[in-house]
Structure 1
Amino acid sequence: MTRLSSLRARLASFDHAYLLAIRLSERSDQELFVVRTGNPIQPYRVTARPPANDEQMVLRVA
């Protein structure tokens, strides 16, 4: 298992992705998704595209 630094772990957390998605949605009318990637370096990401087959949608910000 990949060990992350404390800063990377905080930046790669669900909480950080959630806050980023909220901030971005306040600045645009775009629908955003927080997805779980399965990648230990980037376990969550914010995207305007629906999740790919190997990703799991965790949150939808409209």
Structure 2
Amino acid sequence: MPPLSPLRARLAGFPHAYACAIQRWTATGCNQFVVRTGDPVQPFRVTDARPTNDENLVLRVA
């Protein structure tokens, strides 16, 4: 797999996921979770559902 572009690395990084979680929490009032997926293309994901067994919880915005 070719290396990821610097822009993708920045957008898929933890600081961006954290900012998205805060924005989603502000807009919805629902808990938001930042999880580590183990996928190099999308290492972090923001969701309002609790993480599954193969994901690691990094942050909960409540």
TM-score (norm 1): 0.94
Q: Which amino acid aligns with 1:56?
A: N
Structure-1 residue corresponding to 2:39: 39
Superposition RMSD in Å: 1.2
Structure-2 residue corresponding to 1:11: 11
TM-score (norm 2): 0.94
Deviation at residue 28 of structure 1 after TM alignment: 1.0
2:46 corresponds to 1:51? no
Runs of 4+ in 1 over 6 A off after TM superposition: none
- Determine helix, strand or coil for the equivalent of 2:9: helix
Q: Residues of 1 paired with 2:14 and 2:29: CA distance?
A: 22
Q: Which runs of 5+ in 1 are unaligned?
A: none
